[in-house]
A and B are shown apart, each in its own frame.
Chain A
Amino acid sequence: MNLEGRISIDLSYPSHDTGVVTLSSSRPVHASTLFEGKTIEETLQTLPLLFSICSTAQACAAVRACEQATKSQPPTGVEPIRQQLLSIEMIREHLWRILLGWSERVGTPPPESALAEVMRLQQELRQSLTAGDSPFRIVVSPFEPDMASFQQAVQQLKALLKQTVLGVDCSTWLQIESIDQLHQWISRQQGVATQLLHKIWQQQWHGLGRCLIPPLPTLEWDRLNQALSHSNYVEQPEWAGEPAETTPLTRTDSPLLHQLQLEYGNGLLVRLIARLTELAQLVESLDQPHSSTPSPVGFASGESGIGCCEAARGLLVHRVTLENEQIRQYQILAPTEWNFHPDGVVVRALQQLPAESPHLQQQASLIIHAIDPCVGYDLTINQRPPAH
């Protein structure tokens, strides 16, 4: 039973120093076609059950697409609640990656109690915002969040982040602006995050997997709508004729990230710091929900609607086409299809790994985890025997 599909990655060095990477995916990218023939209400109810990993992002992109297609708008105050729920899900996903994945990379047991606390706080934050109701329906009543409970849970989340990941307050960590300051922080702290970063610093793997790939730009709606009119587009999407990257790195900005990118491009260290930066920024922004500028969330064209939102792994796009109030076509374009494209960022990053490296398996795994597929993967490496 493998409904989720898997990603298969082969790295080999047949005749020269540059790696040859072959990537294939069995992800069921056309699964959303099962909503065709159903009503909007049925679809919005069942979709989060199916795509339950980033169910908030999926539900949000879905309702935004349906609102565009039906030319309807949510009541005032609902979009900020949706945005807050998206942030909470992204925070949870980033914390999972760090607490589970990063600790595994350095061979230490994951901090189980912290992971459980993350899950509990996520529930508490959601409950205080929505009281169990869903803002991901076409017609919703205005929400009256329990802000006292929400603020209390935010403070607990900040304390957890300080204690388990950063060692300092989020706001203090976000003041780190130079590579020297970052190194000082890594040297001083003894947490899950700094253990992995320390290892990368020691091994001088800062720029590991540095490669050229354009970030996914702000999409032009008409062009996207046109591209999605070809149903196979969601399998291996390209923009302006080439693959593009959509990850925390391509959407996060800070003085520190700017310095790191100048020095190490999109190498491994920069990717990990981008995740930490986005995590800290998201947690900080929970306190100031109205400070962020709302980004465009959808587009309508005839009977079709496109809805999008940022999910933990990158931009998520849904497109729905209606006919007689039923769904005629439903498509989902997920970030994994951009990033794990056969010539996408993962492939290009792995191609840069040195053929003679004694740590090839570890280096490749670090890069794949840093970019983060949302399914399991198999990595096969055919390394040339060392020259004598």
Chain B
Amino acid sequence: MCFGIPMQIKKIDQFIAHCEAKGFEREVNLFMLQYEELAVGDYIVSHLGQAIQKVTAEQAEAAWEIYDEMNQIDKEPPRA
């Protein structure tokens, strides 16, 4: 489905942020969020390499709780 993954910014190099979530790392382009103040430690939602939304730590945590749950569900076959 059309998920955007919340990740924490670990380092910012001009418009490229090095982000991390659950031990996975990605480089994310920040230029679409120029209207936001972004700093190391903030959380963003990334989609196909682009940061598309700034979220709070609580929102990121809530989303990850759902993703963890989803990972479990997706391993099970759907009901008939």
Q: Which residues of A contact B (CB under 8 A)?
A: 1, 3-5, 27-34, 46, 49-54, 58, 100, 112-113, 115-116, 118-120, 123, 230-232, 332, 334, 336, 374-376
Contact = CB atoms under 8 A, between A and B. Distances in A.
Contacts of B62: 46, 49
Interface string B39-78: 0000001011010110100010011001101110110001
Nearest to A376: B48
* Best-surrounded residue of A5, A119, A230 (most CB of chain B within 10 A): A119
A51 B66 contact: no
Contact of B21 (A1, A27, A230, A375): A1
B69 to A, nearest CB: 5
B31 A29 contact: no
Interface string B9-46: 00000010000011010000001111100000000010
22 contacts: A3-B3, A4-B2, A4-B5, A4-B47, A28-B1, A29-B1, A30-B74, A31-B73, A32-B1, A33-B78, A34-B66, A34-B73, A53-B3, A53-B4, A58-B2, A112-B31, A116-B33, A120-B34, A332-B1, A336-B2, A375-B2, A376-B48
In the complex, which range does the number of interface residues on chain B fall in?
Answer: 20 to 34
A120 B35 contact: yes
Nearest to A29: B1
Contacts of A32: 1
Contact of A30 (B53, B69, B78): B78
A19 B64 CA distance: 41
A32 B24 CA distance: 24
Contact of A1 (B24, B31, B50, B79): B24
A297 B3 CA distance: 24
B77 to A, nearest CB: 9
